[in-house]
Amino acid sequence: MRQVVLDTETTGLEPAQGHRVIELGCVELVNRRPTANRFHRYINPEREVDRGALEVHGIENEFLANQPKFAEVVQEFLAFVKGAELVIHNAEFDVQFLNHELRRLPGVPQDMRECCGVLDTLALARKLHPGQRNSLDALAKRYSVDNSKREFHGALLDAQILAEIYLAMTGGQGKLSLETGDSGAAAAVSTEQRIDRRGVELTVQMATAEELRLHEVLLAAMAKRGKPIWRDMDQQAAEAAARAAEPAAAA
C-alpha cells in the first residue's frame, strides 16, 4: 500500500476569496514504512500573502515571487501522488485548496479524489480521542513525537511530523528524521530494531469467562456516554466477514 502524507501552506484561509497554495510538502510511505521519496515545492501564488498567514508560516512575498507557478509544477505533483492514499490533517482544508488550483487549469483532474484516496487524520484523532485537543502539536505531544523544530508551520516539516504521528496513532513504526538539508528536503531513517525471536516460545493467555463478562459490563457502562470504538470495530469485522462469505454462499 502506498500512502503520501501531505501538507500545504497558503496565502490565507479561503480559496473562494482568491487565496492560493504557496507550498506543497509530501512524504511517501510504502506498506507503512517511510521511504526517501519526497515532493517539496514552493509556489508563486501570483498574489500577496495575508499578514495573518505570514505570521503562521513566515514565507515572504519576495521569496515566493521567484518560485514556479502552480501550473509549472502540477504535472510533477500529480505524478507523485497518483494512485496513493493521501494522509492529511484536516483534509478538507488542503483538498479544497488543491481543487481550487486544479480547476484553474485545463487538462488536469478537477478533484484530487479523482486520482487519490484521502484519509483525514483529524477525523481519526477525534474518533480515537473524543473531547480532547487534536491539533498537530497536541498529537505530537500525546504520541511523543519531536516537533521542536516547528517554530513556523512548513508544509514538508508538518508532513514529516504528521507521518510519524499517523504511524504511532495507527499502530507504530520507525521514526522519521526531521533534519533538513539545504534543499529543504529530508531523508527518512528508520529506528526500527529487529529482534531475533528464534527459540522463543510465546504463551498465549486467553481471557476467562469471568474476564469476558466483566469486559462486557465495562463496555456497557462506556456505551452510556457514546458507542465504544470497539463496538464499531466488531461491527465492521462482522460485516466484512459477511461480505466475504457471500461469494462462497452463492457458489
Residues with catalytic function: 153
Helices (H), 40-132: 51-57, 61-64, 70-81, 91-102, 121-128
With the C-alpha atoms ordered 163, 164, 168, 174, is the resulting torsion angle positive or negative? positive
Instruction: For 124-152, give the DSSP string.
Output: HHHHHSTTS--SHHHHHHHTT---TT-SS
Are the beta carbons of 33 and 49 closer than 8 angstroms? Answer: no
Quick one: DSSP state of residue 69?
A: B
Place of cell 473531547: 131
What are the Cα distances from residue 131, in Å, to 128, 151, 184, 226? 10, 27, 36, 12
Neighbours of 144 (CB within 10 A): 10
